[in-house]
A and B are shown apart, each in its own frame.
Chain A
Amino acid sequence: AQTVTQSQPEMSVQEAETVTLSCTYDTSESDYYLFWYKQPPSRQMILVIRQEAYKQQNATENRFSVNFQKAAKSFSLKISDSQLGDAAMYFCAYERSSGDKLTFGTGTRLAVRP
């Protein structure tokens, strides 16, 4: 069974600085999808970034980028120029194939210091 591990329950970053959230996963598949979701206090699940395993290029979305290391089964999220609105829970998730169930990690709570 696939598992997703987020080993940092809480992280803190100064406004305008850069922070990296870690995620590792376990799978025997060669093609799959990885995601980072943001959950603010409103509890909405907001997609931050998506990576397709067959693509070697790391995904980026504005200030958000990932470091996808397929051999190491590592998928970290880098947030550059952190803003107060980035404060939230961040979940890493795995999907075996498009439309399959999502397997989530336990989340990392990010605080942003003004």
Chain B
Amino acid sequence: DGGITQSPKYLFRKEGQNVTLSCEQNLNHDAMYWYRQDPGQGLRLIYYSQIVNDFQKGDIAEGYSVSREKKESFPLTVTSAQKNPTAFYLCASYRGGAYNQPQHFGDGTRLSIL
């Protein structure tokens, strides 16, 4: 079955440490997105990528970095510059073109500070 796989499900970060969240999709979707969800709030866009080797900052990109070397993969690195990284992170993908379908979400990664 096609879908989006996010790993790990739970992640802990020590102070001053960079951590990377994985997002892999086998839907052959062109665009991929990273959203952050804080308690009691909706999702906010961190980064997105419409095609391989290209990505754009979203509304809250500071302290995060991404890469898009393969169509299937869009990893998110939470750097030590992100002072409040504790949140739930959701990856999404979108097919693009004339298909006009909504974004498809993964199951998320919960990141906590040790």
Contact = CB atoms under 8 A, between A and B. Distances in A.
B42 A105 contact: yes
Q: How large is the interface on B (under 10, 10 to 19, 20 to 34, 35 or more residues)?
A: 20 to 34
Interface of B: 31, 33, 35, 40-45, 48, 50, 58-59, 88, 90, 92, 94, 96, 100-103, 105, 107-108, 110
A107 B45 contact: no
A42 B102 contact: no
Nearest to B59: A101
A99 B41 contact: no
Contacts of A44: 105, 107-108
A35 B104 CA distance: 13
The 8 closest A-B pairs by CB, nearest first: A104-B42, A45-B105, A101-B45, A99-B94, A104-B43, A98-B100, A43-B108, A91-B42
Contacts of A35: 102
A99 B50 contact: yes
Interface of A: 4, 9, 33, 35, 42-45, 47, 50, 91, 93, 95, 98-99, 101-102, 104-107
A98 B103 CA distance: 9
A9 B33 CA distance: 26
15 contacts: A9-B40, A43-B88, A43-B107, A43-B108, A43-B110, A44-B105, A45-B43, A45-B90, A99-B103, A101-B33, A101-B58, A101-B59, A102-B43, A104-B44, A107-B40
A22 B101 CA distance: 24
Contact of B43 (A42, A91, A99): A91
A102 B88 contact: no
Given A35-B102, A98-B100, A99-B94, A106 B107 contact: no
